[in-house]
Amino acid sequence: MHELAVTESLLEITLRHAGEANARCVTDLYLVIGQLSSIIDDSVSFYWDIVAQNTIAEGAKLHFRRIPTQMICLVCKKTFSPNDSDFACPDCQSTKVKVIAGEEFFLESINIET
């Protein structure tokens, strides 16, 4: 259910930037979501259709770009993409790792009509 709050925040950010640009309508939003993020694209789309009603963003198309997970081993410094069930370093098998990509969630850009 946290996608509702996230989507409401997304709308607020969109309307603020669109207002600053004197937009007549918002046509597209480009979102970046990390693979490890708990954000579900379909849920955001569902809530978007509801929260954007009667705003200049109503009907805007959402575009999702997923960022794959990248980790770095804190022991041997190997950068790697983990598989779904094993986050250990493929070189030294250490589990002392740090996520360096894959937790993102942000609005990259919007398209508007003025």
pLDDT by residue (tens digit) across 22-72?
A: 999 999 999 999 999 989 999 999 999 999 999 999 999 999 999 999 999
Please report whether residue 97 resides in a domain.
Answer: no
User: What range does the domain containing 33 cover?
Assistant: 2-67+102-113
Please report whether residue 77 resides in a domain.
Answer: no
Please report whether residue 73 resides in a domain.
Answer: no
Query: For position 37, which CATH number holds?
Result: 3.30.2320.50
When divided into structural domains, the chain yields a total of 1
Please report whether residue 78 resides in a domain.
Answer: no
Render the burial of 39-66: b for 16+ CB within 10 Å, e for the rest: beeeebeebbeebbeeebbeebebeeee
Please report whether residue 37 resides in a domain.
Answer: yes
Q: How far lies 37's CA from each of 60, 100, 105, 111, in Å?
A: 23, 13, 7, 24
pTM value surpassing 0.75: yes
Per-residue pLDDT at 1 exceeds 60? no
